[in-house]
């Protein structure tokens, strides 16, 4: 099986799990002060990019 065929479902599943986790944590942040919410959402909104980047590099690797 080729790497892209593995990476696509793995990436979609990982992103779905990440979204569900962040949404659950975001429920805890609703009543917090805005100064705590802003860093949380900045980090949560960009943290997914690192593993996605690694997965894309792995999928594009020529073996």
Write down the pLDDT at residue 62. Answer: 65
Q: Give a yes or no: residue 34 inside a domain.
A: yes
pLDDT at 61: 85
Task: Work out the widest C-alpha separation in the chain, in whole angstroms.
Answer: 50
Residue 30 lies inside a defined structural domain of this protein: yes
CB 45 within 8 A of CB 26: no
- More reliable by pLDDT, 41 or 61: 41
Residue 20 lies in a domain: yes
Distances (CA, A) of 48 to 1, 10, 54, 58: 25, 13, 10, 16
Residue 27's domain comprises: 8-60
Domain assignment of residue 2, yes or no? no
The total domain count for the chain is: 1
- At residue 50's C-alpha, the angle toward residues 44 and 29, to 5°, is 10
Residue 3 falls inside a structural domain: no
Query: What would the pLDDT profile of 15-49 be if each residue is shown by its tens digit?
Result: 999 999 999 999 999 999 999 999 999 999 999 99
- Token pair 């949404």 is at which residue? 23
Say if 1 falls within a structural domain: no
């Amino acid at each position: 099986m080729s790497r892209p065929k593995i990476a696509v479902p793995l990436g979609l599943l990982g992103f779905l799990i990440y979204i569900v986790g962040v949404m659950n944590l975001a429920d805890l942040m609703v009543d917090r002060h805005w100064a705590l919410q802003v860093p949380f959402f900045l980090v949560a909104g960009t943290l997914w990019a690192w593993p996605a980047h690694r997965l894309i590099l792995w999928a594009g690797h020529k073996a």
